Chains A and B, each alone.
Chain A
């Protein structure tokens, strides 16, 4: 079985500062890794995904994530956040079409 751990439940950050959201996964088989974002009062939107190839994945809105197989991690980063990045972020893994989500990290960007 696979599982996902998001190490931070809340991340406050100032505007234009960098942010890193940590995600670790466990799985006995190869997985595909995803980051989704939920803006206030909206649904889930895909930020980026890792399937294979380059371990550095670039997504929408300036986000990127790095897959580290030895550390079983898939941390999400953005070098400079905006107020509009305030949202909840979910790391997820999929095996055989089923997504398993982490508990979510709420990012609050302050001016």
Chain B
């Protein structure tokens, strides 16, 4: 079974440009999450999809960030325009909905974003 896959693995863009990160969750997982870790700080929650619906987007830092999950499959996270402080690693994760919130959340390897 394929794990959570993210693309690109690394991206270097200039301040003011746009970057779109993609995440393919584990097949059958309704829950999809985005987290990020900037400048060696704590890993922070960004948002949570259940299928195609945004369940919780309380962690999105500002309106330069837009996440979508059309059709309830893969998800994209767009940063437009990118700022220097957006540099960091963006993790996508997924879990299935059956059972409780103690279900294991599986993480991808992250998309490492550098804004210069």
Q: Which residues of A contact B (CB under 8 A)?
A: 32, 36, 42-46, 49, 51, 90, 94-104
Contacts and interface: CB of A to CB of B under 8 A. Distances in A.
A2 B45 CA distance: 13
25 contacts: A32-B100, A32-B102, A43-B91, A43-B108, A43-B109, A43-B110, A44-B91, A44-B93, A44-B107, A44-B110, A46-B106, A94-B105, A97-B48, A97-B101, A98-B33, A98-B48, A98-B101, A99-B35, A99-B45, A99-B93, A99-B105, A101-B35, A101-B44, A102-B42, A104-B42
A44 B64 CA distance: 26
A36 B42 contact: no
B85 interface: no
B31 to A, nearest CB: 6
Chain B: interface size category: 20 to 34
A43 B56 contact: no
A40 to B, nearest CB: 12
B62 interface: no
Contacts of A100: 45
A13 to B, nearest CB: 21
B73 to A, nearest CB: 19
Contacts of B101: 32, 94-98
B113 to A, nearest CB: 15
Given A32-B102, A99-B45, 17 more contacts: A42-B109, A43-B110, A49-B102, A51-B102, A90-B43, A94-B102, A94-B105, A95-B101, A97-B95, A97-B101, A98-B33, A98-B48, A99-B33, A99-B35, A99-B105, A101-B42, A103-B42
A98 B55 CA distance: 11
